[in-house]
Structure 1
């Protein structure tokens, strides 16, 4: 697993270096992309982007391409991508976020294949995957292996009552909630 992470990090670095050598300013492209998808985004400097901790692109047009630009903000600890256009394909870009503790990816196109990718995020403690119809009982073992995870929201997914109970049994100290259970809809 460490080998895969190293390869991914090297790949991101090589891509960034090759684009800079070819005359492309990828940070400027990142700024332009974020401005195009979110009217609330304020253009920033590369130095400032490195300091970002909490970011929300909730309800924006964020897609998999946009996730690749998080290479410029590796210190993010909290990320809200709820109700965006991200898919499993883009989630591998989040592996660069070694300090990511809270990830909200509710109502996206994430499936159990995406959960397998998220398993590699060693610092993730809070995860919201609610309203993802591609999340079902086949994800339970992957979720249970995320030992650092302390809370997960699985409301309005295809995780059955049996899957819910299995997850609670496998991870009795993890807070597993569903909107149906809490009364929040």
Structure 2
């Protein structure tokens, strides 16, 4: 028996609605949180959930999703294929996930993502090369990743960045010199790095900076004081403040 088009559409809609309810329940069962706006799911938080979330179904059932947090979950490279299909996704928290360079290659297809904390993951300099294709990014968090000065030319391409977290990586003064090309940068984390007073001239050129973290580096107290004079409107965090 063939179903007429109208009846077929009803069956398909009913099945889709039932499946969406199932996915929503799975998220709640995992301990996740869901936020709605005008009847549409716009934010999902799954931080520290143990089991795997049905991410592959998110593009189907949550096309209006703008914010997704997967911090400290088992989210990995293949999940990024589906997340790149969320055309309204702007904020994606992948901190302490299993994402590596292959995942960044998939994720780089996203044209909507603007805010991407992806620190303490498996990405390397190769992954930064993929992320450099996401010119629309305004925040990139790379804390604790195994990236080096080889990433500097790629980071310099992200000209819309307003926030960049490089603390606890392996970059040096060489990378700081490249960051002068980021003229919209307002917040910069450079703590726990092998950077020195050699970075001061470059940092002093970053007049858009409002907040700068340079503690646990080789920048001297005198260098910090000189930098503060060059950037009077910038809040600079350095050990010299508490001495």
TM > 0.5 fold call: yes
2:136 counterpart residue number: 75
| Structure with more helix by fraction | 1
Query: In the alignment, is the contact (CA less than 8 A) between 2:159 and 2:181 conserved in 1?
Result: no
Q: Does 1:94 align with 2:155?
A: yes
Return the alpha-carbon distance in structure 2 between the equivalents of residues 91 and 47 of structure 1: 29
One of 113, 118, 127 as aligned partner of 2:174? 113
- Worse-matched range after superposition: 63-72 or 79-88: 63-72
1:30 counterpart residue number: none
Q: Does 1:85 align with 2:141?
A: no
Q: Which has the higher contact order (CA 8 A, sep 6+)?
A: 1
Unmatched segments (≥5 aa) in structure 2: 1-72, 88-109
Query: In the alignment, is the contact (CA less than 8 A) between 1:46 and 1:72 conserved in 2?
Result: no
When the two chains are superposed, the root-mean-square deviation of aligned CA atoms in Å is: 2.1
Return the alpha-carbon distance in structure 2 between the equivalents of residues 47 and 174 of structure 1: 36
Provide Cα deviations, 1:64-89, integer angstroms capped at 9, x if missing partner.
10001114422111111000011111
Q: Does 1:172 align with 2:207?
A: no
Unmatched segments (≥5 aa) in structure 1: 1-37
Return the alpha-carbon distance in structure 2 between the equivalents of residues 53 and 109 of structure 1: 24
- Give 1:106 shift: 0.2
How many residues get paired? Answer: 145
| Structure with more strand by fraction | 2
One of 218, 221, 227 as aligned partner of 1:158? 218
Return the alpha-carbon distance in structure 2 between the equivalents of residues 72 and 139 of structure 1: 26
The verdict on how the C-alpha distance between 1:166 and 1:71 changes in structure 2, with shifts beyond 3 A counting, is closer
Runs of 4+ in 1 over 6 A off after TM superposition: none
